[in-house]
Amino acid sequence: MDIDQAREILDVSEEDDASAVKKKYHQLMGRHHPDAVGSDSPEYISRAQKINEAYHLLRKENFGAGKRSSRRIKWTADVNEKAFCERNIYLYYSMENAQGLYYKAARGKYMWDPKEEDFSLFLVSIRCASAELLERAEESSAVLRPEEEIKELRFKAQVMLLYSLAQQFIHPVKVLRKIEGPGEADEEGRAIYVFQAFLGKKGYDRNFKILEQLQKEEPIIPGSFQDNKILVLNSKGQMLGHLSFTEDYLHFLVVPLLKSKLAQVKIIVREAEVRKKLHPYRIKVTLDFYFRLEKEAEQYKCGVSNQHITELLEKYKESF
């Protein structure tokens, strides 16, 4: 079977993107799969096999923004040979429009290099990699579900899978060095970085009054981790909410190092601003986030194992 035959079987064109091809595949399998029609007739078995073969062939072709380009370059970033899977590297066509069209530049087990790869495109890459893994899990399941049910199950699974995969392609210390430099050193030579963090609530949120009472230079205490988020408390132990950073990638640098006990933090209130011109009222608390690396941080190793990712995929298959 060649590409043209595959397109004919799925009734798609060269212009159709990966999403359209996948939708067509599910529609056809819903009509012709032996389990769906309640018949093990050789006619239905043969038709389902051809549909499946055509879909697998077209999936290898990179549709939409990720399709193969004559602009493919040799990528030279560090490689994590032990990563669970490969991922695509995407680059923007234009240097001036950071939200425009992008293309697939390379594929491999490449670590994220902040100097070469935009973080938003890194997340696109990880989403695509996680989607590929979930699609394989769906195809290996003998149970057929309506597309709407699959979307709901896939969304929940992809959130967990995305965070785990991302950690396999980010070395927090190396990224910090590239973005922020060596940092200020304390008396023992440990690097200290200072970031701006935020807390925010609307007037009807139950934590609004607690945030409103925060004072300048009051200490804020890390309470717990929820995936790549930090839940913080005030000095009285009252819950304040999740920290936000000016740059989203900081979550992927700070949290893994804290969980690995390779860093410590000190969080101080800079100011609390209540915006009463908005309805409902909103409050924005600006924080100084001091982040100190332990000397052992240079030896950081990814805390997410391939076994953990395998278990996530197995759990996903069991949900069908």
Statement: residue 71 has pLDDT above 70: no
**Region for 55 from its dihedrals, namely left if φ exceeds 0, alpha if ψ lies in -120 to 50, beta otherwise:** alpha
> SS in 3 state form for the chain?
CCHHHHHHHHCCCCCCCHHHHHHHHHHHHHHHCHHHHCCCCHHHHHHHHHHHHHHHHHHHCCCHHHCCCCCCCCCCCCECCCCCCCEEEEEECCCCCCCCCEEEEEEECECCCCCCCCHHHHHHHHHHHHHHHHHHHHHHCCCCCCHHHHHHHHHHHHHHHHHHHHHHCCCHHHHHHHHHCCCEECCCCCEEEEEEEEEEEECCCCCHHHHHCCCCCCEEEEEEEECCEEEEECCCCCEEEECEECCCHHHHHHHHHHHCCCEEEEEEEEEEEEECCCCCCEEEEEEEEEEEECHHHHHCCCCCCHHHHHHHHHHHHHCC
pLDDT given for residue 66 in this prediction: 43
Q: List, for residues 230-245, the tens digit of each pLDDT value.
A: 999 999 999 999 999 9
Whole-number Å distance between alpha carbons of 145 and 257: 40
pLDDT given for residue 291 in this prediction: 97
Average pLDDT over residues 305-313: 94
Report residue 208: phi and psi, to 5°.
-55, -50
Residue 195: band (very low, low, confident or very high) from pLDDT cuts 50, 70, 90: very high
67-71, 128-132, 180-184: least confidently modelled range: 67-71
Strands 184-185 and 263-275: unpaired
| Cβ atoms 159, 251 nearer than 8 A | no
Residue 14: band (very low, low, confident or very high) from pLDDT cuts 50, 70, 90: confident
Statement: residue 72 has pLDDT above 60: no
Statement: residue 79 has pLDDT above 80: yes
Average pLDDT over residues 188-208: 86
pLDDT given for residue 187 in this prediction: 92
In terms of pLDDT, which residue wins out, 292 or 304?
Answer: 292
Whole-number Å distance between alpha carbons of 131 and 162: 9
Whole-number Å distance between alpha carbons of 85 and 76: 18
Average pLDDT over residues 15-36: 72
Query: CA neighbours within 13 Å on the CB side: how many for 56?
Result: 11
> SS in 3 state form for 186-226?
CCCCCEEEEEEEEEEEECCCCCHHHHHCCCCCCEEEEEEEE
pLDDT given for residue 85 in this prediction: 96
Statement: residue 289 has pLDDT above 60: yes
Statement: residue 320 has pLDDT above 60: yes
Statement: residue 142 has pLDDT above 70: no
pLDDT given for residue 98 in this prediction: 54
Q: List, for residues 259-272, the tens digit of each pLDDT value.
A: 999 999 999 999 98
pLDDT given for residue 65 in this prediction: 39
Statement: residue 40 has pLDDT above 50: yes
pTM value? 0.73
pLDDT given for residue 194 in this prediction: 96
Domains and CATH numbers, the chain: 3-60 (1.10.287.110), 64-170+304-318 (no CATH), 177-299 (3.30.70.2330)
Q: Which two tokens stand for residue 316?
A: 């996903």
Whole-number Å distance between alpha carbons of 256 and 225: 10
Q: List, for residues 207-232, the tens digit of each pLDDT value.
A: 888 998 899 999 999 999 987 899 99
Query: CA neighbours within 13 Å on the CB side: how many for 143?
Result: 10
Statement: residue 116 has pLDDT above 50: yes
Q: What is the residue-averaged pLDDT of the chain?
A: 84
